[in-house]
Amino acid sequence: MSVSEMFAALQGALGQDQDIREEIRKVVQALEQTAREILTLLQGVHQGPGFQHIPKKCQKAREHFGTVRTQMESLKTKFPADQYYRFHEHWRFVLQRLVFLAAFVVYLESETLVTREAVAEILGIEADRERGFHLDIEDYLSGVLTLASELARLAVNSVTAGDYSRPLRISTFINELDSGFRLLNLKNDSLRKRYDGLKYDVKKIEEVVYDLSIRGLNKEATVGAGEEK
């Protein structure tokens, strides 16, 4: 094979690779748009009247996740199944954002932490690496850390809306989350940096709870929660 033939073959391979990346990019753009729509919908819970419409907003968000599953099915067909990590960077950010959104919906519905398996089911992908297009553990953890930041904001806005019991429940949840992360030996630099930000979320929520305490509103919240039960 001559040098020109060798480079012609290389160009062909490069062209195929570029075509794959372009096809992936188109689907990822669609996923990003759907993620923005879900985020815009859920941001409404931070407004005063939004707390009254949480069930409806969660239901609509789950309808949007139906679109996400369709788009994920399309994404799976755009690259060879055994080259997941070769192209992973193209969808890593949007996948982490979708994990956060799924986790936020589940928290709003049940005030529990969604499992990686449940998120994978919501997104229409696999939890196990061996089964193909899957939810990487680090992507799941990154999404959960974004949830912590969102809940810190929700705690502040809850007080503004006159909901004094929610910050106490958020505080308990975030502290459990922090304890869970402390069990992990994180080696990934990006994930480690994001985890370092969790302590600021914990501190922010603790300040909200402390403010409720010195104003005597935490007792009111506890009594109110007891009456609800």
Q: Which segments are annotated as binding site?
A: 150
The two tokens of residue 119 are 């998120």
The dihedrals phi and psi of 221, each to the nearest 5 degrees, come to -65, -40
The two tokens of residue 95 are 């996948």
Cite the annotated binding site for Mg(2+) by residue number.
Answer: 150
Residue type, 131: R
Residues 171 and 205 sit within 8 Å (Cβ to Cβ): yes
The dihedrals phi and psi of 134, each to the nearest 5 degrees, come to -135, 170
